[in-house]
């Protein structure tokens, strides 16, 4: 079952981080009044995609989505690096497509920010396509 937050409205007080010391990562949990979600599920509008193996670079021009990721970055700033990257004045995020989901041409994509993993001496947010 897939759950997407309506209109990407996030209450940042509902984001909980659980540290797993055995594998050295943080699980991101988002609590709603009726269920506890693994990760933060979002529906974002994108400009174009660049696919490289299982990684997908999602370029974003929508100001609402950019502000949303900036706010998430501010909330997670003391733990990990930024979700939102900048290259040539273009904003993008890097996503995993491990389950080989079909990507449509309707300029919308569903993602889930699930965990913060320790890779290459930094904590990196792991964003999956759902």
Over the chain (130 residues), what is each successive 10-residue block's mean pLDDT?
75 92 94 91 92 91 93 90 92 91 84 93 92
Q: Is residue 43 part of a domain?
A: yes
Q: Is residue 37 part of a domain?
A: yes
| C-alpha to C-alpha distance for 108 and 112, rounded to whole angstroms | 13
Q: Is residue 10 part of a domain?
A: yes
Q: What is the pLDDT of residue 99?
A: 83
Residue 84: domain span: 6-108+119-129
Q: What is the pLDDT of residue 74?
A: 92
- Name the domain count of the chain: 1
Q: What is the pLDDT of residue 1?
A: 59
CB-based contact 46:97 (threshold 8 Å): no
Q: How far is CA 81 from CA 27, 35, 75, in A?
A: 15, 28, 11
**What percentage of the chain exceeds 90 in pLDDT?**
66
Q: Is residue 114 part of a domain?
A: no
Q: Is residue 90 part of a domain?
A: yes
Beta strands, E only, 2-121: 15-20, 25-31, 36-38, 40-45, 48-52, 55-60, 85-87, 90-96, 108-119
pTM to 2 decimal places: 0.88
Q: Is residue 67 part of a domain?
A: yes
pLDDT by residue (tens digit) across 90-101?
999 999 988 888
Q: Is residue 17 part of a domain?
A: yes
Q: Is residue 73 part of a domain?
A: yes
């Amino acid at each position: 079952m897939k759950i997407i937050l309506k209109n990407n409205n996030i209450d940042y007080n509902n984001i909980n981080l659980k540290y797993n010391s055995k594998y050295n990562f943080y699980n991101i949990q988002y609590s709603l009044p009726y269920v506890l979600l693994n990760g933060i599920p979002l529906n974002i509008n994108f400009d174009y995609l660049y696919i490289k193996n299982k990684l997908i670079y999602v370029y974003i021009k929508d100001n609402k989505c950019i502000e949303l990721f900036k706010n998430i970055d501010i909330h997670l700033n003391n733990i990990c690096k930024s979700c939102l990257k900048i290259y040539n004045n273009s904003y993008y995020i890097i996503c995993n497509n491990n389950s080989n989901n079909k990507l449509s041409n309707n300029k919308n994509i569903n993602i889930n920010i699930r965990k913060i993993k320790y890779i290459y001496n930094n904590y990196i947010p792991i964003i999956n396509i759902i």
